[in-house]
Amino acid sequence: MNDQQKTWVLLFQCPDQRGIVAKISDFIFQLDGNIITADQYATARQGGTFFIRIEFVISRDRWNKQSLSQAFLPVIRHFGAHWSLFDKEDPLRMGIFVSQPDHCLFELLYLWKSGELKVRIPFVVSNYEGHRDLVSQFGIPFHFVPATRQERKEQELLAIAGEASDFLVLARYMLTLSGDFLARYGKDIINIHHSFLPSFKGARPYQQAYDNGVKVIGATAHFVVEHLDEGPIISQEVVRVTHRDDVESLKRKGKNLEKLALSHALLQYIDYRIIRYQNKTIVFEDK
């Protein structure tokens, strides 16, 4: 790919009908663009909803987001589509909320530093002040907000996160966020829950897993909705356990699952591979 070409991602959905791929691909062809990858899905053979993710390159000089969007409008209108267009050179701003457990935080900071997690991190917010040194070493602003179950300080959280982030990650943030916060923030929030949802919602999932004598435990990355641990699932990881595992060893084994499930979900999300649809997700995996 030469430097005169710029890469865009189109996410597009509309009622399924004949000719969608033909129309969109022809449109890109007419603009002298080139499709790099395309991935599509329809919820049913007939009468369903059609989704497509197209990654394409096009002349950097001739097209910007506004002009591309403008040019694309007739196609959109023709199909009555919902759509978004993303500039792959313009990384999302990912705000991090985290409580005391630090394994997910560490993983995200490492992946970011090593260049795998291509985001900006405008801030890390925590109700545990002990993370300050770690976060500062990475050159990221740290905000200590001593939120508790009784005093969630959502006003303060919103002031920090509202404008400064494109989406939030709850990297083991142990307080729930109110429906009011979700509504006012108005953007995606991705949480890691330390169980294999829908099993073991809520508090102390490893204790619940232990009490139930399960032989496999899991972790789940999902979008946050108002009902606790019920948002659309993005990714899940699992590992075998035995009768010898006590709650402590479940927690220890679970840490790896949490890191894997969360980082996988984020890597898909920031590459615009996830579409929320009803209470589920469509994930056009990168591999």
**Residues lying near a copy of itself in the complex (CB under 8 A):** 1, 18-19, 21-22, 25-26, 28-29, 32-42, 45-46, 102-103, 106, 110, 114, 116, 137, 196-200, 212-216, 218, 232-238, 241-245, 249, 252-253, 256, 260, 279-283, 285-287
Nearer to a copy of itself, 92 or 264 (CB): 264
Comparison of 154 and 237: residue with beta carbon closer to a copy of itself: 237
CB of 148 to a copy of itself, least distance (A): 24
Active-site residues: which are they? Answer: 229
Nearest to 16 by CA among 53, 37, 36, 41: 41
Residue placing its CB nearer to a copy of itself in the complex, 156 or 188: 188
The pairing of beta strand 94-98 with beta strand 167-170: parallel
Q: How far apart are CA 19 and CA 30, in angstroms?
A: 16
C-beta closer to a copy of itself: residue 17 or 70: 17
Burial class (CB in 10 A: 0-12, 13-18, 19+), 52: buried
- β-sheet bridge partners, residue 68: none
Q: Are 100 and 21 in contact (CB under 8 A)?
A: no
Q: Does an H or E element contain 254, and which?
A: helix 247-269
CB 90 within 8 A of CB 243: no
Unique residue bearing structure tokens 């890191």: 259
Minimum CB–partner distance for residue 4 and a copy of itself (Å):
13
Q: Tell the smallest beta-carbon distance from residue 185 to a copy of itself (Å).
A: 23
CB nearer to a copy of itself: pick between 147 and 260: 260
Using a 10 angstrom Cβ sphere, with 0-12 exposed, 13-18 middle and 19 or more buried, the burial of residue 85 is middle
CB of 152 to a copy of itself, least distance (A): 27
Phi, psi of 5 (to 5 degrees): -105, 140
**Rg of the chain in Å (alpha carbons):** 21
Cβ at position 150, least distance to a copy of itself in Å? 29
Contact between 283 and 274 (Cβ < 8 Å): yes
**Phi, psi (rounded to 5 degrees) for 13:** -145, 145
Q: What is the C-alpha to C-alpha distance for residues 119 and 94, in angstroms, rounded to an integer?
A: 6
Residue 216 gets the label, from left (phi > 0), alpha (psi -120 to 50) or beta, of: beta
Between 129 and 246, CB nearer to a copy of itself: 246
- Shortest gap between Cβ of 18 and a copy of itself (angstroms)? 5
